[in-house]
Amino acid sequence: MAKGMREIKREIKGKQNTRQITKAMEMVAASKLRRAQEAAVAARPYADKLLEVVGNIASGTKGVRHPMLESRPIKKTGYLVITSDRGLAGGYNANILRKVTQTINEKHKSADEYVIYVIGRKGRDYFRRRNMPILEEVIGLSDSPAFSDIKSIAASAVGKFSEGAYDELYIFYNQFVNALTQIPTATRLLPLENVSSENTPVSSYEYEPSAEGVLEVLLPKYAETLIYSAVLDGKASEFGARMTAMGSATKNATKMINSLTLTYNRARQAAITQEITEIVAGANAQS
């Protein structure tokens, strides 16, 4: 019984140490989540303004054409997948990677029909293990990524579409709703759709040297901005998922500690009762 009690006590200590770690990770994730949310919100006005200008050019200029606005027969597809570098974030990575894999399996018969751009070590390792064609990767992003951190891969993904390397580009990321909810999202990024609509504010602009020249510069910038916004949304989702996962782990550890403590107290009480019984029995035997 004494040996059993020692083992239970050791288990309780181990669970207490685990709870301290998960609680600390939950608090860190909560702090980073707040900053990531602020960054994601701050990036939206810039994308909205770009969309307004691009929409005005596309709506107000007759005969304007650009490869990024034109649909063409689909022979090859590009996928840009945003994951995290670290785990311990619940189903954050598994959900988005499952969605990508399901889409690829449904749409393509061979690896020659698609290419993958991946942000995050978890996604990179996942695709490598399955020998899926990774064209470019970015890992080791900071908790507060700057546009310069993903500019290379964003420019490459947009540029390859314009060059005709593939005929459509999808972006997969976790859309942040709140700390408890992150939605695995797939969006067709290119060709750009609905850039000119009735909902786009109509403003008067003068373009130098020409509307077509401005559009040539702004369309890639707009597409790259959408990628950056998805990265920021993904970061907020990552911290939300990690905070929730670590919170659940902390609660589970507390339940296990309470259960083990109850078991330990019962074992201790049984040991004391047995000792008292043995003492009384010994005293009665000598009387």
Domain annotation covers residue 256: no
Domain annotation covers residue 174: yes
Q: pLDDT at position 59, please?
A: 66
Give me the chain's average pLDDT, please: 87
Domain annotation covers residue 14: no
Q: CA 237, CA 92: separation in Å to the nearest integer?
A: 8
Domain count, the chain: 1
Residue 58 near residue 216, CB atoms below 8 Å: no
* Per-residue pLDDT tens digits for 185-225: 999 988 887 665 545 555 566 667 776 777 788 888 889 99
Q: Is the pLDDT of residue 62 over 80?
A: no
Percentage of residues in the chain having pLDDT higher than 90: 59
* Full-model pTM: 0.85
Domain that holds residue 60: 27-244
Q: Minimum mean pLDDT among 105-109, 230-234, 239-243, 267-271: which range?
A: 267-271
Domain annotation covers residue 224: yes
Q: pLDDT at position 48, please?
A: 79
* Per-residue pLDDT tens digits for 136-165: 999 999 999 999 999 999 999 999 998 999
Q: pLDDT at position 207, please?
A: 67
Q: CA 136, CA 121: separation in Å to the nearest integer?
A: 12
Residue 13 structure tokens:
């200590």
Domain annotation covers residue 239: yes
Q: pLDDT at position 1, please?
A: 47
Domain annotation covers residue 172: yes
Domain annotation covers residue 3: no
Q: CA 225, CA 36: separation in Å to the nearest integer?
A: 16
The CATH number assigned to the domain holding 98 equals 3.40.1380.10
Domain annotation covers residue 264: no
Q: pLDDT at position 155, please?
A: 94
Angle among Cα 153, 141, 91 to the nearest 5 degrees reads 100
